[in-house]
């Protein structure tokens, strides 16, 4: 019987990050086209982005991880979610969203388009075998 690998809570933190970013986008979208206070959305965006960065740092430090599989899955998922984010961005532009709300929405879509591929790729790679004898660490 193999020993269970210790992995960081990537899924839990990723879902929290995703929840916060969705809340920020819903908050802004619900108040457009009238004036909207950007404070709550910026706070949600900042915490979500920090969770995404922290997630990637924790994952990067993980020993014995299948980085090849992670990157393979992440590339395709990123392509799909960048397309989705681009289409949503187009809708905001088409509806004459501009200024601060557009910037916050664009950054929120960027975090969304990065968070979901990380979650998908981690879910696949966590069950795969590491790439090499060096513990599967990505090459720098």
Run means of pLDDT, 10 residues per run, the chain, 140 residues: 74 96 93 90 97 95 90 97 96 90 95 97 91 53
Domain ranges of the chain: 10-125
- Tell me the pTM: 0.85
Cα dihedral 76, 81, 82, 87, rounded to 10, equals: 140
Task: Work out whether the CA dihedral 56, 117, 51, 13 comes out positive or negative.
Answer: negative
**What's the pLDDT at 132?**
61
CB 20 within 8 A of CB 51: yes
């Amino acid at each position: 019987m193999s020993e269970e690998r210790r992995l960081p809570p990537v899924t839990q933190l990723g879902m929290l990050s995703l929840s916060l970013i969705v809340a920020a986008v819903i908050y802004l979208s619900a108040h457009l086209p009238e004036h909207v206070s950007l404070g709550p959305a910026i706070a949600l965006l900042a915490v979500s982005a920090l969770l995404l960065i922290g997630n990637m740092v924790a994952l990067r430090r993980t020993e014995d991880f299948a980085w090849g599989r992670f990157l393979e899955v992440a590339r395709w998922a990123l392509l799909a979610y960048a397309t989705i984010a681009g289409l949503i961005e187009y809708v905001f532009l088409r509806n004459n969203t501009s200024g601060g709300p557009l910037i916050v929405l664009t950054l929120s879509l960027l975090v969304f388009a990065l968070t979901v591929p990380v979650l998908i790729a981690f879910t696949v790679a966590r069950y795969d075998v590491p790439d090499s004898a060096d513990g599967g660490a990505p090459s720098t």
